[in-house]
Structure formats: structure tokens, C-alpha cells
Chain A
Amino acid sequence: MRISIVIITYLCANFTFSQAGQLTGTVVLENNSPVIHAHIKIIETNHTAVTDFDGKFKIKNLTYGTYTLIISTVEANKKSFSTTIDKEKNTLTINLKRKTNKLNEVIINGKSKETEKETSGYSVNVIKTKEASIRNIQTNELLNTTVGVKIRQNGGLGSNVTYSLNGLSGSSIKIFIDGIPTSIYGSSFSLNSMPPSMIKNIEVYKGVVPGYLADDALGGAINIVLHKGAKNNFNASVSYGSFNTVQASVNGLHRFDNSGLTIKASLFNNYSDNNYKVSGRTVVTTGIGGVQTPITARRFNDVYRSTGGMAQIGFTKVNWADQFFIGFTASDDYKEVQHGAFMTIRPYKDRFLESDVLLTNLIYQKKDFITEGLAININGLYGKRNRVVNDTVATAYSWTGERAIDYKGDEYEYTWGSQQEGGPTLAKIKRQVASIRTGLSFTINENHKVLINHAYNGIDREDSDDLLSVLENTFIGTRDLYKNIYSLTYELTALEQKLRASIFGKYYHQKTISIDPAIAEDENGNNIVVDEIVSSNNKDEGYGFATSYSIVPNITLLASAEKAIRLPDETEVFGNDGDNVVANPTIQPEVSNNLNLGFRLGRFKFKNHQFTVSSNFFIRDITDRIGLPIENSLNIDDELIVYVNQGNAKSKGIDAQLNYNYNTNLGLNFNISHFDLTTTTDAGTEINIPNTPFFTMNGGLQYSIKNPFHKKTQLNLFYSIYFTGEFSYLNIPEGVGGADFFKVPEQISQDLGISYAFSDKKTVMSFDIKNIFDKPLYDNLRVQKPGRAFYLKLNYTINNY
């Protein structure tokens, strides 16, 4: 009923006769920050409006004349004034004075952007990076403390990372930077290298991914949202700490108010020796006859360096664009590799990886594009990225960092001629990459919204190895992968904003092309090299919904579900010559039925106490998992192994988190995540999938002291605790001996931090101690992570200069 009235009103409004004007405006506070959810009422008519996130509002069909406006909001004092509508488009900026009286007695039902997202129905966490950017916290560390997120990292700063969301990991999880997959950027411009100060926030969608981020994300998506503001600012920071770790970043934006011309730049540099101490069953030196002596060693081949930045020029808040930028993204990194996937008695020396990327980027955003209510958002990248693995040294080194001796006491070299088994390599992968994401959203009215999104990703990949001959390199195939993903979303807000729902459909189209040079005879009987081109098309659909219902403003129920898929990658489609895996062009995508059911209670307020509790129950049910068939006597000598859709997996569990604040100076947060990751046999038995950290808890405490030494200063104290439950590399039932060997023990780590904001309001200094009790932290069957470490950071920020 209500909906139909709205639609009729809407239609009528469109047919209304001219000689009426439109009033648009922005409501801001003294410091230019927008006022969200302010109510605007025109006394003389029935027109009302509510401001959006940017403080903007719009009132249409005002007959020419003079009107009285009343603006009311919880944030500021009520204001009324008169204005004249005498042309088709009238614009206003309304300045309000912030309320200063007893604000803590006002019940605020307005939602922050984060809360708005977190109550949209998806199982989503929005991580703010503001505080972390001031402290000595890496972006990955921030993610790792998020409920349901687990990071598996093979060592210290810059080492290889895989992300796990509610038990699903690897290629099931897609990472985006402003909606562009990080596979376009490569490792040099990644969560490992990007400083939190470049990032506005991080959205973590678990299981169900909205249409605007559509990709074949089976288990969820992490989207890194970069700063989009149009306000002048400058920020610089430098941090120094243990293991000779230096991290510096500079970000700035300048907008010329007259023209809207805006220049934006970010730069970062990271360096670490990562020479932290390790010990354990494989950290030994070997003497005559191979006799082993356990030692505590410092890692000696683990240097990480990354440098990069973005520079953009364009226009902001002009009539033809809210944001228009073109620019460059460039970065490169260097990472030494101390060991393989496991820490063995044989540390590597002089094996390293290098990667670089150079991209041009384009951003265009406009609300009310062409027609009112239509918003457009385009983000594109084009460029190339390269990666080189360098491993050419055969000399054996010991964990002492010195040359190792063999059983006779002589220095020696490895048979395989390199550090990692498999022989010397200078393997280079060159990729031409392109990615463009386009989103159109049409707001029919405050109840209905339709979104259409398209994402294109193209990767042309070429492999070579400088250590191989031209002949051998000639016959290495190339692999191209093109992906088009379309999505259509309908969003509904109804029942006085109590009910929010969105349903979406996604259409995936992936084309993979393999070009393998081969020998053929030409008409004269001469051998010539021809390209054998095989291509494979994969088309698939997915769909889902997310919905939330607020029983009362601070009790919200959330439910979301999606049939998600993961398209086979190029190796799964075309195989891999080196591993004797051949093409299976008919391989099907992996499919997962994902379900989230949750609630959010809060924020509740009792006197000075405030708290929010939320929880989510989830199921991920994967079928058609892609894998290699087991080796048996029929295929052991075959070159005909193909990837097949053979397995299944199921993850089910629960996430919960609690936030508590006392006054405005004490904050506590705690989260817990527990899941079972199993696979079901043909007979229906569920077996645990081992090597999965299935139980994690994180807690944090923050206390602020205002004006501790001088006026206008602030001191913040932080304490964090991280817990990862024991897990095992193999499923070993109780009663069976030998289990200790496979266990990754329970881990508890605690951090302390302090930050001090100087009275100039521009300088902040932070000091952090990580892993204060120097507890051993592990991953991947006892790959050790850094022990106790100290970091000092200095930030300098100017806003609105």
C-alpha cells in the first residue's frame, strides 16, 4: 500500500507542470563536516527532506516563491531561515552550529556509515583504519583481528599471506582495491605494502558478496576502500622499530576551490630485515656425519622492501563529476625467501622474489548522472606487472647464516644447483592486465533502488626463464584469461526503514586461452613453429539475497544467502606442463551455497555505558571442488592427469563480537570465531579438514586521557590480546600416539601501545610493543613468526589547510 502511494506520488511529481524549481543543498557543521540525517522541512508546503551521508538533500517541484526552511538534527542546534526559489535549480549551503550541551543525554538513532553497512543484511565487517594509521599497525594485522578473518602468513613483514574467511581460504577469497581485484596489482601493491593511512576502510564480506563487488568469490571478499574525499589534507608518517623495520608514508590532496581541480598523491616505503630469532626442532646446525646441534638463530635472508605510490589529477565536486581522476599507480618490491612452505634444517640464502607494477587508472563518479537518482561509478586500470623468482645459488648455508658443512666437514653445494629443490631459476612472468568495473545505480525513491554492475578483468600471461635456452623458452605456452561478470541488484527499504532487503543475480563469463607453440610442417616440408590455440569458455550464474529487519531500532536480525561459484583458474583448465597435468576444457566451477544468519543488538546505553553485541551463524557448503585425482598404478607414469571436480567441503560455525564503551574514554572490544571445516565421504561421514585454525579470539582495550600534560593534548593507551586455538596438521583421534608431532600449539600474543597527540593537533607519536611476553607464534606446521618487537611512529597531519 505504502509503496504504491509512493510510486504514484513519484509519477505525479514527474508530470507536474514547470514554473517550479528544485532546491539542492548541503548541510555542514562549522568544520565543514557533513551532517547526516538532518531533517529539512519547508513550513509553507509539505516538502521535507533528509540529508544523505554527504550532508546533501534535494527538494523538487517548489513553485517559485519564498519559503521558510527548518533544519533539525541531533548533532546541531535547530536553524530556520528563508530562501527564494526563482530559477530551475537553486543551491544552498547551510551551516549549523554543533550542539555542545549535554550531548550524552541525547539518544542518537542515526547510524554511522559503518553501522549502516553492517546492518544492511550482509555478514559484513567494516574496519576503520584511522586509528591504525596513527599506530604501528599493519593493514594485515588489522584484518587478522577482525571476527571470522584469519591470516596465514609465512613469516614476518612482506611474507606470503593467505586469507581465510569463516574457514574458506585461498582462491575462494577475493581481495579488491576499490573493487579491482588485487591480482591486477600483484604483490608489490598489496595489503602487505599499503599503509593503513592510504585506506579509508576495509569491507569484509563473508559468504555473501553484494553485486557491486561481483566476482567469482566462493567464500567472500575483502574490499579495500581508498580515500575519496575532496578536502585538502596532508599526512606524513614514519615509523622505526625492531628488526630494522622502517615504514614511511605520505598522502596529500589539494583541491583548487574555484575550478574543482584536485591533485592527489600517496607514497609509501617499507623496509625490514625481518631478522627475528627462531628456534625449534628444525633450527639446528649440522656437523661431521650430520650430527645436529639445536640453536637459536636469527633469520638472515628475509629482507623485505617495497616502494610505491599513486598520483592522480582530476576534478572533484564539479557539476559534471563528483570525482574524476586519471593517474598512475606504480610500485615494486623485493622479498628474500628464508625457507619454503615449511621451516626445515636447510635455510635458503639469496633466493628472492621481485615484482613490479605500473598501471594507469581512471575513476569517475557522479550522482544524478544524466537523470536524477542515477549514479555512475567507473573504476578502471590498465597496465603491466612482472614477477621474477631468482634462485641461482647452489651454496649450502646453515641456520647460523654461515656456509654449512657436509658430513665430512667440507663446505658444499646442493645437487639441484639452487636453494629450493627443483633447480636454478630466473623464472619471469609478464602480465598485461586490464580491469574495469562499472556500476550504475538508480534510486527510484527512498524505498527502491536498482543497481547494475559489470566487471571486466583481463590477464595476458607470458612465462619465460632466462636460465633456459631460447629453444626451451619458445615452447613455453602463454595463458590468457578474460572474465566478464554482470550483476543486477534490487534494493528495498520498507516498513519505515525497518526492513532492508536486496536480491541480486550474477552472471559470469570466463574465457581462457592457451597458446602452445608446436612444430608443424609447411607446404615445402620444412618444420615451422605454429601456435596451437585452445580456448575454453565457462559461463555460469549465481544469485543471492541479504535482508535485515529492525524489530526496534537497536535490535536487528540479519539473513543472507548466496549460490557462489569459483571459476577454474588457467592451470585447472589447461594444466601445467611441468607437473604433467593436461587440459580439461570441460571442468566445471566450484559451487558453494552460503548462508548467514545473525543479529545485532545495540547500541544500548545505560548512563555512561554503551554496548553493541552481534553474532552470526554461517554455513558454507561447497561441491564440485577442483582437485587432482589420487596417484595410482594406472596413472603414475601417465602424462594424462587432469584436474577434476571431485570433492566437497563444508564449513559451519559462529562469529560473535562485543563492543563496550564507558563515557568517551574507555573502549573494550572482544570477538570470538569458531567453525568446523569438514569434508563428507561418499558414505556420508564428515571428516575434519586438518591444518585449519578453527578457533580464534581477539580482545582489545583502549583508554583515553584528555589533556594529560598540556591542554589540547590526548593520550591513548591500548592493549590487545590474540588467541589462536591449537590445531593439527593431520587429524589424529584421541588414543592414537604420535599426535604431538603434528600439532601447532595454542598461541596467545599480547600487544601494548601508547599514542600521544600533541597540542598542535597535528602531531601524533605512537609507541607499540608487540608480543610483549615474547611467546612463540607459528603458522603452517611451526613456521615461526616474530617475537617481541618495539616500534615508534611519528605522524604529522594537516586537515583543511
Chain B
Amino acid sequence: MKRTLLNFKTLTTTFLTISLITSCSSDDTGINTETETETETETGEESRWITVAATKMGDEAGDGNGGTLIYSITSDEAKDPSVSISPFENGFTAPSNRTARLQSSEDGSTIFNISYAGDTGGTYTKYIVEGGQTFTQSGTEVSIEPYVGTAPRWIKLFDGDQTGAAVYVSTENEISDNGTELDTSDDYYVRTNATISVVTLDLENSLINNFQEHSVPLSDEEEALGYYISRIDMPVLNDAGDKLYIGARLSKLDPETTETESDYEILGSKTIVLDYPSLLNPSVITSTVGHGNTNGYRSINAFLYDGSVYQANQSDPEGSYILKIDADNEYDDSYVFNLDDALGVEGAYILAWRPATNGKAVIAYRHDGSEEGVAGAQGFFALADLNAKTATKIDAIPYDADFYLFQYQGFVVDGTEIYVTEAPVGQNGNIYVIDTETGEVTKGAELINEEGSHFIGTF
């Protein structure tokens, strides 16, 4: 009993100390922000919120299963290496059972979240960014779970923060009884039917706009071999705003046994094209340049620039490509931008990327030469030029074997500047601001890390 009392005491003291520190520091930030906002209005200089996202370790270093934390500072603070922030001590835990997939408004004033898994999986919430750990929920909640399940793959479309789109695919094998219903010995595999669902969400009013489902076939030859669409993600609008592109991953089964295969020929990269906003008339387009998946992972994988959509692919045997889909809604196979070639490495794999308005992009990648860190392959940042099809590793950012970008999600684009976070698993790091125009890299605010945890970007 004595022990317990002591524990309570220690706890209480710790709690009080922490809350004192926290309240002090958040007050400080609050004051700073206000003064800056005021000066901003007077001088007309632009400052915006930068929300830093970090993910806490569950029980394995780098697993990111212990919750997603966010913390906001102004862009001026973000660029100031004397500022240091510590989301694991005083951030805000995004309400999601597993790693949240966050999105932010283009000006950084609002964070959009759809809870991933758990009782509220699929529930959309919106938060007004007010600095520090203060994120004030605004508007009503709405759930897309009935349409795309509790673990939705969703993305905010680039239409002025109006719309979010989430997708889901379910598959079913079609087996023919060969005309003999009773004799099952001559049954054979015909194809695997993939049914995709797409839901669009009015982010402003928390309402569901539209929902459609379609069976999306591949070519007869591909289907006969057992190929099918097994995962879809990363919807993006075309320039005209009349088509929605959805990235896809293909899998293959053995038609003889209907069991999943593991070592098979990777087909040309594919994208599903739908009419927008009706979400009707699905078709599949195939690249002859890239091979591999176009569904990304947790970070937006396809962007509109200069009238075309640029899309990264993953698991390409030749290393990741950036593919181009033109205004005619077809792959531009004359556009060849291979990251292996551009960087002079083998097995480049784009983990996340983001172009600025000038066609220059920051790419988070790993390659075959990456060191194996605590949580997987070491990651790097590169500065790429979509027009020149060139890419250079950014050497001004320090790299560590434990610097791991697989779960990386967010880049803030502020004009031609791109904000990234760099912190190896379990080590402190910094925000870096890359001037895509000049290639100049500014070391910004310090990121205080925690054992086994890492930072997953800016919003």
C-alpha cells in the first residue's frame, strides 16, 4: 500500500510539473503567434501554420503503432533552428486507432482526418489549427464506413479543399462449371472480378457527395493468366476536373489452383479512370513505360502539374518511374523519367513525393544501396525536375541508417518552398525547407524525438 501511495505521489508531482511546463510553453507559442500574425497583417509578409506529424512506437521501433501526434508552429518558427518542438510530450493525438492518414487545407489552417480502424474507423473530422497542441474540432462528423469500410484509403482532391475521395476494392473468383453443374471435376478458373467503390466527401459541410461501385475488368489475356486489381488508392483529378484517376496494384493467382502467386511478371503500370463528379464509366489505362503499382502507400502519389497528372510508381523492377497522364486521359509513353537513371542508383523506390508549382519536386526514396536500419531501409530526399527529368539527392540534409521514410506522409508546399521533416527513428532531427527554385536547403526547427518513434512530415 505504501508503494502505491508513493507512486500516486510521484505521478501527481510529475503530472503537475508537466502540466506547468506545458501550459507555459503553449502560452509562449500563443503569444508569439499572435504578435507575428499582427506584424504579418501590417507588413503583408506571409506566414502560415506548419503542422508537424509524428508517429509513436507501439512495441517495435519504427512501427508507428502508438498513435499519430501533431503539433503546429508558424512557418517562421519552422524555419528557425533555435525553435524546438516536442510533439511526443505536448502534441495532440489524432483520433485514429492506427496511423492516421492526415490531410491539410492548402493554406495549412485546417487538418482533415479520417479515423483508420477501431470503433470510429471511417469517421471524418475536421480541425482548425490554432497553434501548438490546440486543434479545435469544427463542423459535424460523417462516416464513410458504410461505403469503404473502417480502414478507408482516402485523399483530399486538389479542388480548393472542397472534396475528399476514398476508395475500396473487393474481389471474387469466377469459376466455370464447364456446362456441367454436377460434375465438378472439369471446373475451371475464368477470372477474378474486382469491384471498386468510390465515395466523394464534401469536406466543408461534412456530407457525402456521391458513391459508385463498378466491376473493373482487365484485358482477357491478363485475366486468363490470373491477374486482377487487388488494391486501389490515391485518387487525383485531371486538369479539366472531369476525370478522376485511381492508382492500382495488381496481384496474380495461379489459375490451376486459385492460390496466390508470389513470383510473376509485373505488368505495365495501370490507372483506373472515372468520369467526375459522376464517378461513372470506368476504364483502365496502362503505361508501357513503367511497371509496377500506382497505389502508393500513405502519402499522395499523383499530382497535377502544368495540365498533366504526374504519378509515381512503386515496386518497379527497373526502379520507380514518374509517369505522366496527359489531358487526353491516357499515359504519355513518350515521357520517360526513371529515378534509377536520374539518380544513378539501383532499385530506387519512391516512398512519397510532392511537386511545387514550378515543376520541381521533392522525392522521398530508398534504393538497393540503402542501409538496413532499425525499422527498414534507409531513406533519402532528392530534388527532381519534372520538365528536365532530372533528380539529385539532397546532400544538405543529414542521413542516418535509421532514417526511415516508409510511413512518410506530408510535405508543405508554400510557393516554391517545400517543408520536410528529418529525424531518424528514436533520434532528434529538424525541419528542412527546400527552396526548389535554387536548391537551397534551410535547416529549421528542431524536432525532439522519442525512443522508437519517428516524424512523418508536415501539413
Where the two chains meet, the residues of A that have a C-beta atom closer than 8 Å to any C-beta of B are 281-282, 286, 289-292, 342-346, 396, 404, 406-407, 412, 414-417, 421, 423, 468-472, 474-475, 517-519, 527, 577, 580, 630-634, 636-640, 646-647, 674, 679, 681-683, 685, 687, 689-690, 729-739, 741-742, 781-783
Contacts and interface: CB of A to CB of B under 8 A. Distances in A.
A631 B120 CA distance: 23
A397 to B, nearest CB: 10
Interface residues of B, number: 92
B66 A291 contact: no
Given A471-B175, A742-B93, A781-B97, 20 more contacts: A292-B143, A344-B143, A404-B146, A406-B208, A416-B168, A470-B184, A471-B184, A471-B187, A475-B257, A519-B254, A527-B256, A577-B260, A630-B376, A633-B349, A633-B376, A638-B262, A730-B67, A735-B18, A736-B87, A736-B133
A639 B376 contact: no
The 7 closest A-B pairs by CB, nearest first: A632-B376, A289-B207, A639-B262, A469-B175, A407-B208, A738-B93, A737-B92
B144 A736 contact: no
A519 B257 contact: yes
Contacts of B94: 738
Interface string B164-192: 00001010110100000000100111000
Contacts of A344: 119-122, 143, 145, 150
B67, B87, B261, B366: most-surrounded residue (chain A CB, <10 A): B67
A475 B258 contact: yes
A630 B135 contact: no
25 contacts: A286-B143, A292-B141, A342-B119, A344-B121, A344-B143, A345-B122, A415-B147, A423-B170, A470-B184, A471-B184, A471-B189, A475-B258, A630-B375, A633-B406, A639-B260, A674-B4, A687-B57, A689-B59, A732-B93, A735-B21, A736-B88, A737-B93, A737-B135, A781-B97, A781-B119
Contacts of A632: 375-377, 404, 406
Given A735-B18, A736-B93, A469 B173 contact: yes
A681 B425 CA distance: 13
B39 interface: no
A210 B211 CA distance: 59
Contact of B146 (A289, A414, A647, A739): A414
B60 A637 contact: no
B25 to A, nearest CB: 10
Given A342-B121, A633-B406, A735-B22, A472 B173 contact: yes
Q: Is the interface of B mostly helix, strand, loop or mixed?
A: mixed
Interface in B116-155: 118-123, 133-135, 140-150
B452 A681 contact: yes
A225 B325 CA distance: 70
B211 A407 contact: yes
B150 A421 contact: yes
Scoring A423, A630, A638 by chain B CB atoms within 10 A of each residue's CB, the highest score goes to A630
A633 B351 contact: yes
A291 B140 contact: yes
B284 to A, nearest CB: 19
B122 A471 contact: no
Contacts, number: 210
Contacts of B87: 736
A514 B87 CA distance: 48
Contacts of B88: 733, 736
A690 B173 CA distance: 39
B154 to A, nearest CB: 14
A286 B19 CA distance: 39
A281 B119 contact: yes
B159 interface: no
Interface of B: 4, 14-15, 18-19, 21-22, 56-57, 59-63, 66-67, 69, 87-95, 97, 118-123, 133-135, 140-150, 168, 170, 172-173, 175, 184, 187-189, 195, 197, 202, 205-211, 213, 249, 254, 256-262, 293, 297, 314-315, 349, 351, 366, 374-377, 404, 406, 426, 451-452
Given A638-B262, A639-B262, A345 B19 contact: no
Given A292-B141, A681-B452, A735-B19, A637 B376 contact: no
Contacts of B184: 469-471
Contacts of B144: 290
Nearest to B87: A736
A689 B60 CA distance: 12
Contacts of A782: 119
Contacts of B4: 674
Contacts of A735: 18-19, 21-22, 89-90
A407 B207 contact: yes
Give the one of B19, B149, B366, B374 with max A CB within 10 A: B149
B373 to A, nearest CB: 10
A577 B259 CA distance: 8
B85 to A, nearest CB: 13
A345 B146 contact: yes
Contacts of A518: 257
B119 A730 contact: no
Nearest to A339: B119
A59 B98 CA distance: 69
A100 to B, nearest CB: 42
B259 A634 contact: no
B260 A291 contact: no
A636 B24 CA distance: 43
B262 A423 contact: no
Contact of A519 (B90, B173, B256): B256
A690 B98 CA distance: 13
